[in-house]
Chains A and B, each alone.
Chain A
Amino acid sequence: MPIKYIGRTTDFKGKTLWEILGNLKNFGVGRIVVRSMFERYPEPSYMKILKVEPVTHEDCRKVRVLIERVFRGRKYPKPVGLYSVSYKADYRLLHKDEEADYCSFDPGEEKPERILPRTALFPPLFRVS
């Protein structure tokens, strides 16, 4: 008897974090995981796993993780914790030989900060004159 699943559709492409980390020795500490949703940007976005804490099993098992996150080429200064997003079936493991290639990022020239003027005109209907 074929099983038919009914539920909300998503745009995710990948596996849940537990399905990846549960298959790795020592829960994949030190490996790099990538979210498929963030691959739409030209700069690389990835997460390096620092510490893993498994959580009791549920239907879609979540896992508490401490990661070093790099988003669009910029690294977050402090390690970040993920828990409530680990159910999303959007994660992908990077092979060790692919890591160097994927994570290398040349920021190029730093774009100068755009300083906007202090004053601006009101919208047309609000203008007094």
Chain B
Amino acid sequence: FEIIVSGKRCFLSEAYKCQEAWERRLKTPILQKIKLDDFFYEIDLKNQNEGKISAVDIDLFANAIQDESHLDELQDLTHKLRLSANTGKTLQSTHHSFIRIFLSLGRHDELLHILNDRINYGIFPDYYCSCLLMDTFIKNKNYTAAAKVGVLQMLQEDWEDPLTNHLALYSCHMYLTSPNVEPWETQPQEDEPDDGEEIKVRVKYLRNPYFDDHFDLSDPKLLVGKTLASLGAQFPDPVGRTYQLVGLSLYNKWDKALALLQRFILSKHKPVIYQAGVKKMEELIEESLKSEDTSNKETIEKFSQVLHELKSDSVTEEDLHEAILGRVRRVVGEEEQRIIEKQCQVYKHWEKEREEVLQAEVDQLQKQQKLAEVEKLKKELDTKEKILFFFENEEKWQLEIENKRVKYEKQKQPGKAEKKIDDKDYIPPEVRRSSN
């Protein structure tokens, strides 16, 4: 049932946020005992002294946060965890609570920046979170941000969840068709002042320049194009076909677009695509023909020709916008309730998992402590034994002293120089002529 509230387009209802189930996590005994400042200090100290940072600790920290004051600390700890070997053991609930806390405190830009910097932070939204993010951004009419979340799904090549697919399609559609969208890059790029000095950095191996057409993409047009192209393939109907072609045109892969269009015409699905899509593609064709890039001109012209030749019954005049809207609403109606119930189950499962992992770590620590104690005891008993039974074993000790005597010195092998210690801060001493 559609709910139109004062002109805002809402898809997911308030119940989708599962706010009560989410807040119930705060009532578990472990989380109630945590004091955030002390906890952060302890984790930081342990990291500096031992270099170890535990995934459960970060998970507890992320879940215990409720206000703005500890967000920077959470970011810092997530980064440190990503650099350590324990990244592999990050719990699922860490990603979830990280995204939820940033979203609820309104730090959208920072959150998107962190989600796009996966190597340094490693926060990946699951299906529930990406739907929540896209819905929030669509409600705020921030179509750029919603399209960015859709792009994230494309980078993972993960189109399994129908609700995520539909919302991503809607976000990219609104990004393309809205008159004034916010720019993709929110932070202005600062060029560092060029002193003319070069900083020389020594690396083991030089990297050859390589552009993989996937994670390295940064141009919004190419990103949204690639998203639409792979997303459109998931919908076997005119909407999907339209968006596949539009996406490939945005992405500048004209040969693939041509091959696809010819295949659609041959497959005799009627109608093939929407009129709005044809119009958009004609605009893109004009733009790229003007842009003096001669490599694809023939393909583009052939594509444009085939497009014009599309018969009238292959192209529908229906409103693309309404079609997409209808589909999204239908999927929301079908899937929402099931997802909400599943998510409440998942929260309970995460609580249990957190307790189990924490208990396992505590047990491990205790085991190590006990082993250390036992070792200490063994050593003490050993020294005592040596003292008490000295005179019985006197001959044995004398033999051992004989064996320890070095018979010959280790000779220096020619060609094997001892390793020189490389001190970065070493400044060679100034040698001046002594005035004698």
Q: Which of chain B's residues 136-155 have a Cβ closer than 8 Å to chain A?
A: 155
Q: Is the CB of A89 within 8 A of B207?
A: yes
> Contacts of A97 on B, CB cut-off 8 Å?
230, 233
Which stretch, A2-10, A73-81, A103-111, touches the partner chain B?
A2-10
Q: Which of chain B's residues 24-55 have a Cβ closer than 8 Å to chain A?
A: 51
- CA A124 – CA B195 in complex, angstroms? 69
**Which chain A residue has the least Cβ–Cβ distance from B197?**
A1
Q: Which of chain A's residues 91-123 have a Cβ closer than 8 Å to chain B?
A: 92-93, 95-97
Interface residues on B, range: 35 or more
Q: Is the CB of B212 within 8 A of A57?
A: no
Q: Is the CB of B204 within 8 A of A7?
A: yes
- CA A14 – CA B122 in complex, angstroms? 21
> What is the count of residue pairs linking A and B with beta-carbon distances less than 8 angstroms?
101
Q: Which of chain B's residues 383-426 have a Cβ closer than 8 Å to chain A?
A: none
> Is A52 at the interface (CB under 8 A from chain B)?
yes
> Is B203 at the interface (CB under 8 A from chain A)?
yes
**Top 6 A-B residue pairs of the complex, sorted by shortest distance between their CB atoms:** A57-B83, A7-B203, A22-B119, A25-B124, A54-B87, A4-B198
> Contacts of B88 on A, CB cut-off 8 Å?
27, 52-54
How many whole Å from A5's CB to the nearest CB in chain B? 5
Identify which of B118, B193, B197, B207 contacts A22 (C-beta below 8 A). Answer: B118
> Contacts of B215 on A, CB cut-off 8 Å?
19-20, 23
Task: Say whether, besides A1-B198, A3-B198, A12 and B208 are in contact (CB < 8 Å).
Answer: yes
Residues 45-83 of chain B: 1 if any A CB is under 8 Å from the residue's CB, otherwise 0? Answer: 000000100000000000000000000000000000001
How many whole Å from B130's CB to the nearest CB in chain A? 11
Q: Which of chain A's residues 36-82 have a Cβ closer than 8 Å to chain B?
A: 52-57, 59-60
**Which chain A residue has the least Cβ–Cβ distance from B116?**
A23
Q: Is the CB of B212 within 8 A of A93?
A: yes
Task: Say whether, besides A19-B119, A54-B87, A93-B212, A2 and B198 are in contact (CB < 8 Å).
Answer: yes
How many whole Å from A126's CB to the nearest CB in chain B? 35
> Is B185 at the interface (CB under 8 A from chain A)?
no
Q: Is the CB of A10 within 8 A of B83?
A: no
Q: Which of chain B's residues 78-133 have a Cβ closer than 8 Å to chain A?
A: 83-88, 118-119, 122, 124
Q: How many residues of A contact B (CB 8 A)?
A: 38
Q: Is the CB of A93 within 8 A of B208?
A: no
Q: Is the CB of B199 within 8 A of A7?
A: no
Q: List 18 A-B contacts (CB under 8 A).
A: A1-B192, A1-B197, A4-B199, A5-B202, A5-B207, A6-B201, A7-B202, A7-B204, A7-B205, A7-B206, A12-B207, A19-B119, A23-B155, A23-B215, A56-B85, A60-B205, A93-B214, A97-B230
Identify which of A4, A25, A92 contacts B156 (C-beta below 8 A). Answer: A25
> Is B263 at the interface (CB under 8 A from chain A)?
no
Task: Say whether, besides A1-B194, A57-B84, A9 and B206 are in contact (CB < 8 Å).
Answer: yes
> Is B361 at the interface (CB under 8 A from chain A)?
no
How many whole Å from A38's CB to the nearest CB in chain B? 16
> Is B334 at the interface (CB under 8 A from chain A)?
no
Task: Say whether, besides A52-B88, A56-B85, A4 and B201 are in contact (CB < 8 Å).
Answer: yes
> Contacts of B87 on A, CB cut-off 8 Å?
54
Identify which of A54, A60, A95 contacts B85 (C-beta below 8 A). Answer: A54
Q: Is the CB of A96 within 8 A of B157?
A: yes
Q: Is the CB of B155 within 8 A of A10?
A: no
**Which chain B residue has the least Cβ–Cβ distance from A91?**
B212
> Contacts of A93 on B, CB cut-off 8 Å?
212, 214
> Is B200 at the interface (CB under 8 A from chain A)?
yes
- CA A26 – CA B89 in complex, angstroms? 10
How many whole Å from A91's CB to the nearest CB in chain B? 10
> Contacts of B85 on A, CB cut-off 8 Å?
53-56
Indicate the member of B87, B156, B158 with the most A CB atoms within 10 Å.
B87
**Which chain B residue has the least Cβ–Cβ distance from A89?**
B207
How many whole Å from B242's CB to the nearest CB in chain A? 19
- CA A59 – CA B205 in complex, angstroms? 11
> Is B1 at the interface (CB under 8 A from chain A)?
no
Task: Say whether, besides A1-B197, A4-B198, A10-B208, A56 and B119 are in contact (CB < 8 Å).
Answer: no
> Is A85 at the interface (CB under 8 A from chain B)?
no
Q: Is the CB of A89 within 8 A of B205?
A: yes
Identify which of B119, B200, B206 contacts A23 (C-beta below 8 A). Answer: B119
